Amino acid sequence: MRVLVAMSGGVDSSVVAGLLKSQGHEVIGVTMKLWEGPNGEMPETGCCTASDSEDARKVAAKLDIPYYVLDYTESFSEKVVDNFIDMYAQGLTPNPCVECNRSVKFDHFMKQAKKLNCDKVATGHYAKIIKNNENYELHKADYLEKDQSYVLHMLNSATLENVIFPLGTISKPEVRQIAADLGLKTAFKKDSQDICFVGKKNYRDFVDKRIDISTSGEIVDNNGQSMGRHEGVHEFTVGQRKGIPGGQGAPKYVTKIDVQNKKVYVGNRKELLTSVFYLEDTSFVNTVETEKLSIQTRYNSENLPCEIEILENNKLKVTLLEPTLGVAPGQFGVLYIGTKLIGGGRITANLNEKLSV
Amino acid sequence: MKKNDYLYLDHAASTPMREVAFEAYKKTESVAFANSSGGHELSRRAKNILEDSRDQIADHFGAAPKEITFTSGGTEADNWIIKMPFINNQNKNAELVTSAIEHEAVLGSAEWVESLGYKVHLTGCNNLGVIQTEDVLKNINSNTEIVSIMLANNETGVIQPIKEISQSIKNLNYDLIFHSDVVQAVATTKIDFHNLGIQSAAISGHKIGGPKGIGIMFLSSEAKIPSFLHGGKQELERRAGTVNVSGVASLSAALGEQQQNMEIQNQKIQKERCEFEDLIKSKLDVMVIGETVSRLDHISNIQFKGIHSETLMVALDLHGLGVSRGSACASGAQKPSHVLQAMNISSDYINSHLRFSFGWSTQVGDGIKAANIVISSIQGMR
Domain shared by B236 and B268, yes or no: no
A76 interface with B at CB cutoff 8 Å = no
Domains and CATH numbers, chain A: 2-124+165-181 (3.40.50.620), 215-271 (2.30.30.280), 272-347 (2.40.30.10)
Q: Answer with the one of B224, B259, B294 that is the final residue of a domain.
A: B259
Cβ neighbour number for residue B218 with a 10 Å cutoff: 27
Closest CB to B333: pick one of A28, A71, A116: A71
- Residue A85 — pLDDT band, cuts 50, 70, 90? confident
Q: Answer with the one of B259, B292, B321 that is the final residue of a domain.
A: B259
Burial of B143 (0-12, 13-18, 19+ CB in 10 A): middle
Domain shared by B65 and B167, yes or no: yes
By CA distance, what is A2's nearest residue in B? B318
Highest mean pLDDT among A42-46, A239-243, B135-139, B306-310: B135-139
Domain shared by B133 and B230, yes or no: yes
Domain shared by B96 and B203, yes or no: yes
Domain shared by B163 and B248, yes or no: yes
- When the pLDDT of each residue in chain B is averaged and rounded to a whole number, the result is 94
Domain shared by B210 and B281, yes or no: no
Rg over alpha carbons for chain A, rounded to the nearest Å, is 21
Q: Which of A48, A100, A118, A306 is catalytic?
A: A100
Domain shared by B168 and B316, yes or no: no
Predicted complex: ipTM over 0.90: no
Q: What per-residue confidence (pLDDT) applies to A352?
A: 52
Domain shared by B276 and B214, yes or no: no
Query: How confident is the model over B112-119, as a mean pLDDT?
Result: 96
A279 forms beta bridges with A316, A347
Domain shared by B123 and B174, yes or no: yes
Q: Do B315 and A116 touch (CB under 8 A)?
A: yes
Residue % of chain B over a pLDDT of 70? 97
A50 CA: distance to closest CA in chain B (Å): 7
Task: Report which residue type is found at A324.
Answer: T
Of the listed ranges A98-102, A196-200, B210-214, B255-259, the one predicted with least confidence: A196-200
- For residue B266, which of B295, B294, B297 has the smallest C-alpha distance? B297
Q: What per-residue confidence (pLDDT) applies to A177?
A: 94
Q: Do B331 and A53 touch (CB under 8 A)?
A: yes
Three-class DSSP category at A183: coil
By CA distance, what is B317's nearest residue in A? A66
pLDDT tens digits, one per residue of B171-229: 999 999 999 999 999 999 999 999 999 999 999 999 999 999 999 999 999 999 999 99
Are B209 and B257 in contact by the 8 Å Cβ rule? The answer is: yes
Residues 6+ apart with CB under 8 A from A261: A217
**How many domains does one find in chain B?**
2
- Is the alpha carbon torsion for A282, A287, A290, A294 positive or negative? negative
Are A49 and A43 in contact by the 8 Å Cβ rule? The answer is: yes
Residue A155 has pLDDT above 70, yes or no: yes
Write the CATH number for B78: 3.40.640.10
Domain shared by B154 and B243, yes or no: yes
How many residues does the structure list for chain B?
382
Q: Which of B264, B329, B330, B333 is catalytic?
A: B329
Cβ neighbour number for residue B3 with a 10 Å cutoff: 7
A77 interface with B at CB cutoff 8 Å = no
Domain shared by B207 and B128, yes or no: yes
- Residue A41 — pLDDT band, cuts 50, 70, 90? low
Residue % of chain B over a pLDDT of 90? 91
Residue-by-residue DSSP string for A268-293 = -GGGG-EEEEEEEEEEESSS---TT-
pLDDT tens digits, one per residue of B265-298: 999 999 999 999 999 999 999 999 999 999 999 9
C-alpha B10/C-alpha A261 separation (Å) is 60
- Residue A278 — pLDDT band, cuts 50, 70, 90? very high
User: What is the spatial order of strands in the sheet that B68-71 belongs to?
Assistant: B68-71, B215-219, B200-204, B177-181, B144-148, B95-99, B119-123
Residues of A in contact with B334 (CB under 8 A): 71
Query: How confident is the model over B243-255, as a mean pLDDT?
Result: 98
Residue B329 has pLDDT above 90, yes or no: no
Of the listed ranges A103-112, A249-258, A323-332, the one predicted with least confidence: A249-258
Task: Kindly compute the dihedral angle of the four CA atoms of residues A33, A37, A41, A47, in this order, to the nearest 10 degrees.
Answer: -40
Q: Which residue has the higher pLDDT, B339 or B4?
A: B339
Domain shared by B138 and B152, yes or no: yes
Q: Which residue has the higher pLDDT, A128 or A90?
A: A128
Residues of A in contact with B331 (CB under 8 A): 33, 40-42, 50, 53, 69
By CA distance, what is A28's nearest residue in B? B318
Q: Decide if A48 is catalytic.
A: no
C-alpha B201/C-alpha B291 separation (Å) is 27
Q: What per-residue confidence (pLDDT) applies to A226?
A: 86
Write the CATH number for B373: 3.90.1150.10
Q: What per-residue confidence (pLDDT) applies to B219?
A: 97
- Residue A42 — pLDDT band, cuts 50, 70, 90? low
**Beta strand A263-267 pairing with A274-284:** unpaired
B315 interface with A at CB cutoff 8 Å = yes
Residue of A2, A71, A119 for testing the chain B interface, max B β-carbons within 10 Å: A71
3-state secondary structure chain B: CCHHHCEECECCCCCCCCHHHHHHHHHHHHHCCCCCCCCCHHHHHHHHHHHHHHHHHHHHCCCCHHHEEEECCHHHHHHHHHHHHHCCCCCCCCEEEEECCCCHHHHHHHHHHHHCCCEEEEECCCCCCCCCHHHHHHCCCCCEEEEECCCECCCCCEECCHHHHHHHHHHHCCCCEEEEECCCHHHCCCCCHHHHCCCEEEEEHHHCCCCCCCEEEEECCCCCCCCCCCCCCHHHHCCCCCCCHHHHHHHHHHHHHHHHCHHHHHHHHHHHHHHHHHHHHHHCCEEECCCCCCECCCEEEEEECCCCHHHHHHHHHHCCEECECCCCCCCCCCCCCHHHHHCCCCCCCCCCEEEEECCCCCCCCHHHHHHHHHHHHHHHHC
- Residue A98 — pLDDT band, cuts 50, 70, 90? confident
B103 lies in which domain range?
Answer: 19-259
Residue A93 has pLDDT above 50, yes or no: yes
Q: Do B317 and A66 touch (CB under 8 A)?
A: yes
CB burial of A241-265 (b: ≥16 within 10 Å; e: otherwise) equals: eeebeeeeeeebbbbbbebeebbbb
Residue A249 has pLDDT above 80, yes or no: no
Query: How confident is the model over A174-194, as a mean pLDDT?
Result: 84
